[in-house]
Amino acid sequence: MEGRAIVRPVERGGFLLFLALVSAALLAVVLPFARPLLWAMLGAIMFEPLYRWFLARRPEKESQAALASMVVILFAVVLPALWIGSEVVNEAAGVFVAFQQGDIDVAMYFEQVFAALPANIQASLANAGFGDLGAIQQRATAFVQASLGLIATQAIALGGSVFGFVLGFGIALYVGFFLLRDGRTIGAAIIAALPMERQVANRLAERFLTIVRATIKGSVVVGLVQGALGALTFWIVGLPSVLLLGVIMAIASLLPALGPAIVWAPAAIYLLATGALWQGVAVIISGVALIGMADNVLRPILVGRDTGIPDWLILVTTLGGIALMGLSGIVVGPLICGLFLAAWGIFAEQREPAVVPTEPNEAA
């Protein structure tokens, strides 16, 4: 047709090949900063309501609203997180050194707990192979040293690459500013450029935002609240390394059913076995009435609606994401799973044959 260029298949294929190559090249260029960019995107998604709040009070001042939002995020979220992280690393390193020097006697703790148990439970544990306190000490010591050593190793690696950390931190803040200010425009452009039907692209984008917000609110925020309640409880009863225990409890909250009880239950048993009765009872009451109920109360309020992902898949994908990407996997794992389920659900809908309603036969 006159006035319209005719694109031959070879030219079309060449352009698609160029598009794939330049996209792969861009991915390779930004890959070293994938984690800062990921957290900048997640922060922009989560704090968009804050940006809208500032924008409503400063209409048509997008840059000022984004800058004010970044200042709040920096002082209310980022800096406290960095301080807590440094304190946790220090506590983990201290406990690790205490294990290496023999200042922490695991066998004595096991003996105290074992001796405080009823005779029938002691006999059952002995028959199950848990009566050999020396073997239990070796296993527990090896496990704790391996876990704490991993934290210490990560701290040393972080300290050895201070410039890289500061650079990534600066990139996350810088990119986060522009994603807050121009996020909707960028998102609309990406959806328009996707090589799929607009309706499908919109559904996947909506699913993406839903899963990100539900995962951060339902897992990260609830876990932080439970960890904070646990750390406060341990501080009240006088246990050491409360920040480290609180962070471990926050991570354990990702596990369904047991969750934070993996941390506070052994602590309560130890306190009761060593004669600290009111401390042990306080930990049990806090674990059941406060820490355990926080999930049931906060998750419906924060999440609002179900992500549509089964609990067992959330557990597997979260742990797999952590193993693959570290802390970023807490969000990336369930996100990939949710998009996978959404994409296959849309594909199944498209394959279903259209149902044509039949008119009932009219009587002659």
- pLDDT at residue number 108: 61
Query: How confident is the model at residue 236, as a pLDDT?
Result: 92
Residue-range domain boundaries for the chain: 24-193, 197-349
pLDDT tens, residue order, the chain (364 aa)? 444 555 577 777 888 888 889 989 998 998 888 888 988 998 898 899 999 999 998 888 889 999 999 999 999 888 888 888 778 777 777 776 666 666 655 556 666 666 666 666 656 666 655 555 555 555 555 555 555 555 555 554 444 456 667 788 888 899 999 999 998 889 888 888 888 888 888 888 888 888 888 878 777 788 888 889 999 999 999 888 888 888 888 888 877 667 788 888 888 888 887 778 888 899 999 988 888 888 777 777 766 555 667 777 877 888 888 788 777 787 888 888 888 888 888 888 887 765 445 555 544 4
Q: What is the pLDDT of residue 159?
A: 47
Q: How many CB atoms lie within 10 A of CB 95?
A: 21
- pTM of the complete model: 0.71
What pLDDT shows up at residue 66?
92
Q: In this predicted structure, what is the pLDDT of residue 68?
A: 93
Give the 3-state DSSP-derived string for the chain, with helices as H, strands as E and coil as C: CCCCCCCCHHHHHHHHHHHHHHHHHHHHHHHHHHHHHHHHHHHHHHCHHHHHHHHHHCCCCHHHHHHHHHHHHHHHHHHHHHHHHHHHHHHHHHHHHHHHHCCCCHHHHHHHHHHHCCHHHHHHHHHCCCCCHHHHHHHHHHHHHHHHHHHHHHHHHHHHCHHHHHHHHHHHHHHHHHHHHHHHHHHHHHHHHCCCCHHHHHHHHHHHHHHHHHHHHHHHHHHHHHHHHHHHHHHHHCCCCHHHHHHHHHHHCCCCCCCCHHHHHHHHHHHHHCCCHHHHHHHHHHHHHHHHHHHHHHHHHHHCCCCCCCHHHHHHHHHHHHHHHHHHHHHHHHHHHHHHHHHHHHHHHHHCCCCCCCCCCCCC
